[in-house]
Amino acid sequence: MPNVKLFVDEAVLAAHKPALVAALRPLRDLLCAELSVPPAACQVVIVPVAGLADQPPINVELALLPRPERTRDKLMALAATIRADLAAPSGGAAVAVRISALDPQTYIALK
């Protein structure tokens, strides 16, 4: 159940929106392949933000349920791939990636 929010600075989004929107499907495909989930399990969105100038203009937050095969090394590699894959669509803007595991005992999702 990967839930991905791309918080994109309004200026970057204004300049690169078509490319960033086009990058959403390949991002979902990557998540499905690397995390062994079907597309219907994913939620991938862009959220426009106004942030401070000294922060990365793109902040990717990925929340997922833990599984034994989702090791720290595997998730670090996934974060690096996400950052690299967003370089071109964002026009080379700095990208931060944060991944957090949700508590399966308390997580609830209604779709």
Q: Tell if the pTM clears 0.85, that is, is over it.
A: yes
The helix (run of H) or strand (run of E) holding residue 18 is helix 10-22
Nearest to 27 by CA among 2, 7, 8, 10: 2
Q: What is the CATH number of domain 1-51?
A: 3.30.429
- Residue 12 reports pLDDT greater than 80: yes
Using alpha carbons only, give the angle 18, 21, 23 rounded to the nearest 5 degrees.
Answer: 110
Does the pLDDT at position 93 exceed 90?
Answer: yes
Return the number of other C-beta atoms located less than 10 Å from residue 71's C-beta.
10
Query: Can you give the residue ranges of every domain in the chain?
Result: 1-51
pLDDT grade for 111, boundaries at 50, 70 and 90: confident
20-79 pLDDT, tens digit per residue, is 999 999 999 999 999 999 999 999 999 999 999 999 999 999 999 999 999 999 999 999
Q: Can you say how many angstroms the Cα of residue 14 is from the centroid of all Cα atoms in its chain? A: 19
**∠ Cα 105 68 2 (to 5°):** 65
